[in-house]
Amino acid sequence: MRITPLDGWAGEMTGGDLAGYQLRKLNETLLAAQSGIYYRRTLPGRVESLSDLRLLPTIDSETLTQNGTGLVCVPQDAISRVVTLTTSGSTGAPKRIYFTEEDQELTIDYFANGLQTVVKPGETMAILMPCERPGGVGDLIARSLKRIPVSSVRYGLVSDLAPCAEMLGSRKPEALVGMPVQVLALARYCEAMGIKTGISAVLLSADHIPDIARRELRRIWGCRVYEHYGMTEMGLGGAIDCDAHDGYHIRENDLLFEILDEKGSPLADGVFGEVAFTTLTRRGMPLIRYRTGDISCMLPGRCGCGSELRRIAPIRGRIGRDIVADCGTVIRMRDFDEVLFTMPCTSDFRLTASPRENLLKIEIEVQESIGKSSAEEITKLLQKSGLTGGLKVEIDITNRPNALSQWAGKRTVLSHSTQQSST
């Protein structure tokens, strides 16, 4: 079994002393953060040990929304990219993340090393992620692949299954990276149409990864399936799977991860809580003890691949996002994924809950080229699963001619009366 390539990369960057490197970089970050209006009021210029990190205040999405450029620690002309993200908080105001060219170079370097888990020099990788904007995730992946070196097909998000499947059949890339639900629909379409691909490895990212997606991709393409955890606030890259498939190796030379309880205190390895991170090398907008809202734990012990880099478990959900109907039924997107995607013709679905009315609306997209389904069939499937007990369920089926909806944002349960969402 190969050791994760991040191991050698981190060792070279840190000189073999990861803890000493992290403390040095943390203090450099704290010192640089004094140039930011917000941090100047809230943070010391240095700490004496990594354990002192727990004494610093946490920040969250609302902090970014309310303070904006107050967290920027370089002159505005040093900022090369600004990413605007919508939030689900009470204000609904957007949050903006600021990057310098050097910050984005850090991500390219991380991708160039982490992606070597998935693809080998001389191969080709299809990028089924947004590619149109310079500095966007697809562009950064393509630029990183050149360093391996690996050829890339900048395809973009999948809106029509037919041309994307044709590309896989004709170009025969050995690997692809994409969003879980889109890649699952694509693989099932290829199977139904008898399209042979050369896919030997898949990297899934940018959303919750259903277990059924992993199983189906392995069955259909006989490929290795890897997973990545990241978010824009992290600089897009955070932690990646390895051949042991036992958690995600953290980008420890750039990010310091913690798992926190409700009060912001670190939890022991193996205990689930909220993922928080501190950027160690970013200068445009450093984030210190940023609470992500994601639920995971730090895995104990050494990975089976042999790396000493710490790992987190696959993300379990989001803090405070479970939707509970008045009848007591808990509605989570990830639970419905494992049921509704058992129907091969299901390419995507959307859940909208009205908790006070005990009502759940399910909008399902069905690929006509793969098969058909009916409201009666879906109702029976859900009743058997036990997910909809006490709920009134309304099912709306849209038959699609190979097209995929481009619903904005991550797949979540929408709630009319509480304005919450659940992964």
pLDDT for res 418: 44
242-263 pLDDT, tens digit each: 999 999 999 999 999 999 999 9
What's the pLDDT at 90? 41
Listed residue (285, 278, 284) closest to 25, CA to CA: 278
Quick one: average pLDDT of 22-29?
Answer: 98
Region 121-150 average pLDDT: 96
In this prediction, residue 417 has a pLDDT band, given cuts at 50, 70 and 90, of: low
The residue that leads in pLDDT, 407 or 153, is: 153
Retrieve residue 24's tokens. 């040095």
User: What is the reported pLDDT for 409?
Assistant: 65
Split at pLDDT 50, 70, 90, the class of 412 is confident
pLDDT value at position 423?
Answer: 52
pTM over 0.75: yes
- The answer to whether the beta carbons of residues 246 and 303 sit under 8 Å apart is yes
pLDDT, tens digit, 9 for 90 and up, residues 172-230: 999 999 999 999 999 999 999 999 999 999 999 999 999 999 999 999 999 999 999 99
Amino acid 91: pLDDT: 47
The predicted pLDDT at position 319 comes to 86
What is the share, in percent, of the chain residues with pLDDT greater than 90? 88
Least confident among 21-35, 105-119, 120-134, 401-415: 401-415
Which residue is listed with tokens 């369920």? 393
At 304 the pLDDT is 96
Instruction: Report, in angstroms and rounded to the nearest whole number, the Rg of the chain calculated over CA atoms.
Output: 22
Give me the chain's average pLDDT, please. 93
Rounded distance, CA 376 to CA 205, Å?
33
- Please report, for the chain, the start and end positions of each structural domain, with discontinuous segments joined by +: 5-105+238-318, 118-229, 323-422
Architecture of the domain spanning 323-422 = 2-Layer Sandwich (3.30)
Say whether 323-422 and 5-105+238-318 share the same fold: no
User: 5-105+238-318, which class in CATH?
Assistant: alpha beta
pLDDT number for residue 280: 98
Q: How far is CA 154 from CA 128, 131, 135, 145, 287, in A?
A: 7, 6, 13, 11, 30
Is the pLDDT at 421 greater than 70, yes or no? no
CA distance 1 to 101: 36
The full DSSP string for 287-353 is: -SSEEEEEEE-EEPS--TTS--S-EEPPP-EETT--EE-TTS-EE-HHHHHHHHTTSTTEEEEEEEE
CATH superfamily of this structure's domain 118-229: Response regulator (3.40.50.2300)
Task: Of 290-294, 296-300, 326-330, 398-402, give the lowest mean pLDDT range.
Answer: 398-402
Where residue 87 falls among pLDDT bands split at 50, 70, 90? low
- Provide CB contacts within 8 A for 52, sequence distance 6+: none
Whether the per-residue pLDDT at 26 is higher than 50: the answer is yes
How do residues 316-355 score in pLDDT, each as one tens digit?
Answer: 988 877 899 999 999 999 999 999 999 999 999 999 999 9
Residue 206: phi and psi, rounded to 5, are 75, 5
Q: What is the pLDDT of residue 313?
A: 97
**Burial class of residue 255 (count of CB atoms within 10 Å of its CB; 0-12, 13-18, 19+):** buried
